[in-house]
Structure 1
Amino acid sequence: MVIHGPGQTLIQTYRRKQQETYKFKTVDRGQYVFCFNNEFSSFTHKVVYFYLGIGEEESLTEEMSVKATALTQIESSCVSIHESMNAAKDYQTDYRLREYRGRTLAEMLNERVQVWSVGECIALVVLSLMQVLIVRSFFRGKPNRAPPRF
């Protein structure tokens, strides 16, 4: 992944990383460009998830304290609920991302286990047939050979 800032200035370059969290702070105003490439492996399926947190939210208490009156208990409760809801939203976003990663890993492992099981079944059938043929060859008599005389 390559991140360019305003004026095509290079900000960050990440190579051959997977399931990583990238954080950086913007300095200038303008257009930022994110470029995701598939150089690491072009045969596998890719899912890119990103979240842009833009700036810090202004505190509601500062806005309310500009007035000459003190904050009422309801206003303080509303501010507290608002901050808690923002934190819960961030936790949910992170949890969804972790759940997706875990589900993807579980599906990949399930596919590998199924392929391995099919391979073992085929090997078991082939080995069983070979053992049957070998045991049958032990009990097959040689018709043209005469028994030894003493």
Structure 2
Amino acid sequence: MWTLLSLFISCLQLYLINAYEFTFELPDNKKNCYFRLIDKGTESKFEFQVISGGNYDVDLTINGPGERGKELVLFSLRQKQFESFKWISNISGEYSACFNNEFSSFSHKIIYFDWVSGEEETFGGKHPGPVNHPLTMMESASETIHDNLNEITEHQTHYKLSEASGRIFGEELNNRVTVLSLSETLAILIIGVGQIVVLRNFFTDKQGGR
């Protein structure tokens, strides 16, 4: 279990052209915020999932710059396991995503999130936009393969998260069953020894009475 946890806690923080994804541990009674600069008119997508810990829930608030320098709350959720948002920034500035686990007094959470801003570069490093010349068959095929690979990567990420969440839940359940079984075994031994002692004392008293 610890190997799997350390694998996700030390998961690569991947900085792509316009996106990054991160897996981190959020202790109980703690709050973590992540920031990035986004230009006006940029479309952004934020997705998160609680992999393990407690009831698999966390509070999330996404903030952005407002008028006169005030911070504006774009989205706010309470005790959710996973969610996905899309928005277009009206103002250029610093945006933040804050995860809050202050409602939990003992459960650490492991959380994955993916934050994409803007359009991804096309295959070959060219930015999307109007093309001045028709694409060749090779370029068109490359674009299609590139899009399909991106989609496959996204599906693989979700499958890995689901597998990790199920694995951790299974191991926690196994530990609980093991502890419960040991407790029941110990209780049976104590009750058995107690019954033997009581019966022995009972017959000893009778023999003494004669």
User: TM-score range, shorter-chain basis?
Assistant: 0.7 to 0.9
Identify which of 147, 153, 172 aligns with 1:108. Answer: 172
Take 1:109 and 1:94, find their aligned partners in 2: how far apart are those partners?
22
Tell me the C-alpha RMSD between the 2 structures. 2.5
Q: What's the secondary structure of 2:111's corresponding residue?
A: coil
The 5 A counterparts of 1:122-137 are 122-137=186-201
Q: What residue is the counterpart of 2:112 in the other structure?
A: 49
Cα distance, 1:108 vs structure 2: 1.7
1:123-146: CA deviation from partner (whole Å, max 9, x where unpaired): 111111122123324533534535
Partners of 2:139 and 2:161 in 1: CA distance: 33
Q: Does 1:66 align with 2:125?
A: no
Aligned counterpart, 2:28: none
Q: Note the C-alpha offset of 1:77.
A: 1.5
What's the secondary structure of 1:12's corresponding residue? strand
Normalised to the residue count of structure 1, the TM-score between the two structures is 0.79
Shift of 1:81: 0.7
**Alignment gaps of 5+ in structure 2:** 1-59
Q: 2:149 matched to 1:75? A: no
Q: Taking structure 2 as the reference length, what is the TM-score of the superposition?
A: 0.59
Letter in 2 for 1:5: G
Q: Secondary structure at the match of 2:199?
A: helix
Deviations 1:79-134 (A, max 9, x none): 11111111011112212221221122112212211221121111111111122123
**Structure 1 runs (4+) greater than 4 angstroms displaced:** 62-65
Residue by residue over 1:47-73, the C-alpha shift from the partner in whole angstroms, topping out at 9 and shown as x without a partner, is 12110122333667x768521xx4333
Q: Which has the larger radius of gyration?
A: 1
Is residue 2:86 matched to residue 1:24? yes
Extract unaligned runs of 5+ from structure 1.
none
Q: Which has the higher contact order (CA 8 A, sep 6+)?
A: 2
The structure with the largest strand share of the pair is 2
Determine if contact 1:6/1:32 at 8 Å carries over to the other structure: yes
> What is the rounded CA distance, in whole Å, between the counterparts of 2:131 and 2:184 in structure 1?
72
Question: 1:40 is matched by which residue type in structure 2?
Answer: F
Q: Look up the equivalent residue of 2:172 and give its one-letter code.
A: M
Q: Tell whether the 8 Å contact from 1:64 to 1:71 is kept in structure 2 after alignment.
A: no
Number of corresponding residues: 143
Aligned partner of residue 62 in structure 2, secondary structure: strand
Percent identity of equivalent pairs: 38
